[in-house]
Chains A and B, each alone.
Chain A
C-alpha cells in the first residue's frame, strides 16, 4: 500500500516568506507527527495530531510555526516569516495506534532551505 507522502520534496524560499509543507499519511492511521531534522542530528519533535486535533504541540519552536489537520488525514505544516535557522528536513510520520509498541512510518521528508 501507499506510504506516507510529503510534498514538496524540496523547497527553497527567501527569508521572511511563508511556506506550507504537506503530509499525506498512511490511510487509516489516526496518529500523525511532524519532526524536524537538522544536519547531523536526530529527528526533533514538533507536533502530534490524534485525528483532527493537535494533541501535543509542545515541540513547536515559536508562534511562527503552525500545523493543521482539518479532516483527520492530510496535514499541513505552516511556517510564517521564515528564518535561515528554519532550514532543515521536515519529516512527517504516522502510526496506526498510539501505544508504546506502535512504530512510526515516515515519509521522505521535505528539505527546506531558507536563503
Chain B
C-alpha cells in the first residue's frame, strides 16, 4: 500500500483564489510528521509546512495552512490568495516513528497551475 496518496495529478486555480491540495497517508504509528514541499520548474524542493501527529491545531505558515484530519488520515494543503508564482509541483511527505531512521516518504505530487 502506498504510504502517501495524492489523488490530484493536476489542479487549476484563478489568481487570488484559494486552492486545496489533497493528501492522505497510511501509517500504524501514533507518532509521525507530515510535510509539504513545493517544486518549481527550476527543480529545487522547497519546504513549506509541517504538521505533527500530536499537534492539536492545524499548522499555518503565511498563506499556507494544513487541514489536518487525523481520524481520516488526511493532511490537505490550503493555499490562500494564490499567486502566479505558486505554479509548481507540490509534494506531501511523511516521517514515521516505526521506521527506525525516520526516512521521509513522498507522494507522487500534484501539479498546480495558477491562471491570471
Q: How far is the CA of A111 from the CA of B41 in the complex (A)?
A: 13
Is B12 close to A, CB under 8 A? Answer: no
Interface size on A, residues (CB 8 A): 29
Known: A89-B43, A100-B31, A107-B44. A43 touches B106 (CB 8 A): yes
Knowing A33-B103, A56-B101, A101-B33, the reply to whether A106 touches B50 (Cβ < 8 A) is no
Which of A13-21, A63-71, A77-85, A91-99 lies at the interface with chain B? A91-99
Indicate if the CB atoms of B101 and A42 lie closer than 8 Å: no
Task: Name 19 A/B residue pairs within 8 A (Cβ), A-sorted.
Answer: A40-B108, A41-B109, A42-B107, A42-B109, A45-B105, A48-B101, A89-B43, A98-B102, A100-B102, A101-B33, A101-B95, A102-B102, A103-B50, A104-B45, A104-B104, A105-B47, A106-B44, A106-B46, A108-B42
